[in-house]
Every structure is written in C-alpha cells, then in structure tokens.
Structure 1
Amino acid sequence: MKILFVGDVVGRLGRDMLDNHLHRLVSKFKPQVTIVNGENSTDRGRGISEKIYKSFMQLGADVVTLGNHAFDNDEIFDFIDHSKKLVRPANFPAATTPGEGLIYLNINQIKLAVINLQGTALMQNLDDPFVLAEELVNQARHHTPNIFMDFHAETTSEKQAMAHFLDGKVSAVIGTHTHVQTNDARILPGGTAFLTDVGMTGPLDSIIGVRKEDVLRRYLTKLPTRFNVQETGPSILSACIIDIDEDTGKAKSIKNVVIRDDQPFFD
C-alpha cells in the first residue's frame, strides 16, 4: 500500500499548489491513499472550512488531518461531526471536543487506520500524547496492522520520541506543524517509517507561511504583531510517499517530495 502525505496546506497559495499538482503526484506515484494536512488552509492560515475540506476531497484526498489550529475557524463546529474523513488531534479533551482522532479506511479490502495526535512540548497542555498513542494503537491493531500517524508537534525531540516509542507498532509516524521539511526520512529498526516534519504547502517567500515583515516586526520590536499569511509570490508543495507491506504493516520505503516554482515537478 502506498500512502501520499501532503504537509500543512497554508492559505490560498497552498490550496492553489494542491490544486495544480496533486493529480500529477497521484499519477506518478499511484498511491492507494492520499492524506492532506489542512489545519492552516483558510485564507488567514488558521483552521479549515467545509468548502475547503470538500475541495480537498474532490481533488483526490482520502483523509484530511488537522492540528493545533483545528478549531480556530468556528465553522468547523458545524461540520466536523458529519465529515467522516476529517481527523483532529485525538488528545483534545474527549468529553468536550467534537470529531474523531482515529478513523479507518477500507482500501481494496485492506484496512488503514489514520491517527492524528498533537504534541505538548512548547504547545497546548492537552492529554498526554504518549499514553493516548498507546491506547489508540492497541485499539487499531485489533483491526489492522496498517497504521498511519500524523504527529503535529513543535519539537524535534518529541517527534523522534513518539516514533521510537511506536516503532514496530505502526506503519508510519510523520511530523507536521513546523512547516519546514526535514532531511531525515528513514525506516526505523522495527519497520516504522519516520520523518520529523513533512513540511509546508504554501507561500515559499515567507516565514513558515507568514509575511516576513510581520514576523520580523515581532522579533525586532517585541511588540504584539498580527501574523498575516503571505498571499503573493512563489510557492512550495511538501510531501512524502510511503510504501507499506499491507500484510505486516511494516514500511518498505519513504521518500521526500518537494515541488517549488523554481524546481518544477517532472513526470
């Protein structure tokens, strides 16, 4: 089973990149499952709308994962419970948070579990992601050995720790949130594919998607500054392709994918 995972789609430029290139990636790599992180996909780069979610599905996404901005667009409360392919971090408080943190897909009679978790190092104080990861993985393994996790976390160490904690128990742990693709894609000793961060799909001439002048003003003046998404200029699409032995759930390969306006994609 091949899985194509596209990193954090940011704003209009990110949506345009997905619109322009997703079908080409699918044509080249022929994944059975396409997963897109959409937690920054509104024009202001915070949250997701139902229209955007449906547009990702129409483009060919099978699942959309989220992260710390999952609920920043209030509209999500109107559609998350009936959007069965939308996955939010499972460690938001279960009693008060709508949506699901674990879903299953049936792909040619093979089941794939998709888990979304959020880290807590330098982030919100949510439920312990390691405790919940163990619970969810044990639950999923009753149904399938094929388990994909989007771990939305700030620190490299927490992402690596999660991958090693789950090595041999899941097919892949792929990091999101920091918006810069890392160069450490590998298969861990137990057979789990890992990438610290898959990177961002959105404005390249920016600081992780935000206008440079906004971020620089914050650093130089220490004053409160509104961060606005960069809306013009070159763009980037960041992704990875993972090949899984669907009988064992072990990863066979993982490959980084990058498309930039100055590095066009070739079929």
Structure 2
Amino acid sequence: MRILFFGDIVGDRATAHIAERLSDLRREYDADLVIANAENCAPNGLGMAAKQIDQLLLAGVDVITGGNHSWDSDESTGLLALEQVLRPANLAPDVPGRGVLTLDAAGEKITVINLADHCAMKSVKKVAAGFRPAYEGWLAAERIGTVIVDYHGDHVLEKQIFAHAVDGEASAVIGTHSHEATTALHLLPGGTGFVTEVGMTGPAGGVQGFAPEVMVAGLRTTGNPFSGDLPAPGDGPITLGAVCIEIHDGRTTDLRRVAS
C-alpha cells in the first residue's frame, strides 16, 4: 500500500496546485490513499473554505486533516461536519468534528488519526477548555488496521517522543504545523515511518507561506510582529511539502519525499 501525505496547504493557489497535479501524482506514485492537511487552505490562509475543500476532495484527496487553524472562521468550523475532514482528536467529546476516520483502501482498513500538541493549540480559545494531551487522544482512539497519524505540533522533542512511544502500533507518524520541512526520514525499529515535519504546500519565500511585510513592520514598530493586520499568503512559487509512505503488513518499508 502507498499513501501520499501533503503538509499544510496555504491559500487558494496552493490548493489549486494540488488539485491540478494530484491525478498525475497518484499515478506516478501508485498511491492508494491521499491525506492532506488543509487547515490553511482558505484564500487568506486562515482556516478552511468550502470552495477549496471541494477542490481537494474532487481532485482525489481522501482525508483532510487539520490543527489549530481548524476553527479560524465559522465556515471552517462548519466544514468539520464533513466525514472526510478531521480536526485534532485530543479534544473533549463535545467539541465539533471528529479526529479519527477509518476507511478502506487497497483492500485494507486504514485509520487516520489527527493529533496536536499543546504549543500548537494553546492560542485556540474556542476549544481551550477541551484540550487533552496528544498521547491521551491516541490511547482513546479506536485504531483499526493500518494507522496513520498526523501529529500537528511545534516541538521537535514531543513529536519524536510520541513517534517512539507508538512505534510498532502506528504505521506512520507524519509531523505537520511548523511548515518548514525537516530533512531526515526515519524508519523506526518497530516499523513506524516517521518525519518530524513534512513541510508546507504553499508559497515559498515568505513566513510559513505568508507575505512577510506586515509582520516585519509590526516587529520593527511595536516589537510585536502580530500587532498589525493579518498577512496574506505570499506570491512566491508554490513549494510541495509531501511524502510517499509505502506500507506492508502494517510496517512502513519505504518513506520518500515527493518531488516538487
């Protein structure tokens, strides 16, 4: 079984880029399943928007994961009602949406689990009261068949500890959120494929896919880069942050980056 996983999609140009290329990429990598973190796919890069989610699903994305930006707008929150759209599972039961999805691919059951660490989620006031530690969310999740985890987090240390904690239970742990891809691709001793940060799919040359000018001005004038208006996604070339995961009998046997 082969799975394509796309890191944080930033803005509508990045969404269109994946939608245009996905059919060819699925064929090139002989992919049985496609997972994409799309919590930044709205035109302004903050949350999700229906048009962009529709583009991704129609293009062939099977599961959409999220993170701290999943509640950035009412439209984004509403999209959590879709079966294919996940948000972090380590939240209280009364928080809208779901964090776990089991589906069929290549004649097998696959469970996708979306988790997030405290540092990524601490600014999300809408769900602050419902936050639970990521490992607690893992233990509570129903895990059927091959298990893929989107671990949305800031801390390298926490991502790596989690991956080793579930080695042999999860088939792959794919890190998202920081947008800056890490070089090393790991095959852990128990058979779990792991990358600390898959990287973003979005405009290169700015700050996590966003135009830097507004944040730079805020830093220079007030000492706070977030004191001004929200920045727009950048206009640089779209970079592709993605990996292909090859799994046999629940163990990752090959993990490679997808060429831009």
TM-score relative to the length of structure 1: 0.89
Q: Distance in 2 between matches of 1:208 and 1:79?
A: 23
Q: Aligned with 2:71: secondary structure?
A: coil
Q: Aligned with 2:118: secondary structure?
A: coil
Instruction: Indicate the residue corresponding to 1:132 in structure 2.
Output: 137
Tell me if the contact between 1:115 and 1:148 (Cα under 8 Å) persists in the aligned partners.
Answer: yes
Counterpart residue type for residue 225 of structure 1: G
Instruction: Indicate the residue corresponding to 1:119 in structure 2.
Output: 117
Tell me if the contact between 1:123 and 1:154 (Cα under 8 Å) persists in the aligned partners.
Answer: no
Instruction: Indicate the residue corresponding to 1:226 in structure 2.
Output: 229
Instruction: Indicate the residue corresponding to 1:46 in structure 2.
Output: 46
Which of 82, 90, 98 aligns to 2:96? It is 98
Aligned length: 250
Counterpart residue type for residue 239 of structure 2: I
Q: Aligned with 2:198: secondary structure?
A: coil
Tell me if the contact between 1:35 and 1:63 (Cα under 8 Å) persists in the aligned partners.
Answer: yes
Q: Distance in 2 between matches of 1:40 and 1:131?
A: 26
> Per-residue deviation at 1:123?
3.9
Q: Distance in 2 between matches of 1:225 and 1:158?
A: 31
Q: Distance in 2 between matches of 1:30 and 1:193?
A: 18
Per the alignment, do residues 84 and 122 of structure 1 end up closer, same or farther by CA in structure 2, a change over 3 Å counting?
closer
Q: Distance in 1 between matches of 2:78 and 2:87?
A: 14
Q: Percent identity?
A: 34
Q: Aligned with 1:87: secondary structure?
A: coil
> Per-residue deviation at 1:112?
0.1
- Give structure 2 stretches of 5+ with no counterpart: 123-127
What aligned pairs does 1:132-171 form with structure 2 within 5 A after superposition? 132-136=137-141, 139-140=142-143, 143-144=144-145, 146-171=146-171
- Give structure 1 stretches of 5+ with no counterpart: 260-267
TM-score relative to the length of structure 2: 0.91
Q: CA RMSD in A?
A: 1.5
> Per-residue deviation at 1:105?
1.0
Which of 107, 110, 127 aligns to 1:109? It is 107
Per the alignment, do residues 106 and 155 of structure 1 end up closer, same or farther by CA in structure 2, a change over 3 Å counting?
same
> Per-residue deviation at 1:122?
5.9
Tell me if the contact between 2:116 and 2:134 (Cα under 8 Å) persists in the aligned partners.
Answer: yes
Q: Distance in 2 between matches of 1:123 and 1:80?
A: 17
Q: Distance in 1 between matches of 2:148 and 2:160?
A: 15
Counterpart residue type for residue 133 of structure 1: W
Per the alignment, do residues 210 and 77 of structure 1 end up closer, same or farther by CA in structure 2, a change over 3 Å counting?
closer
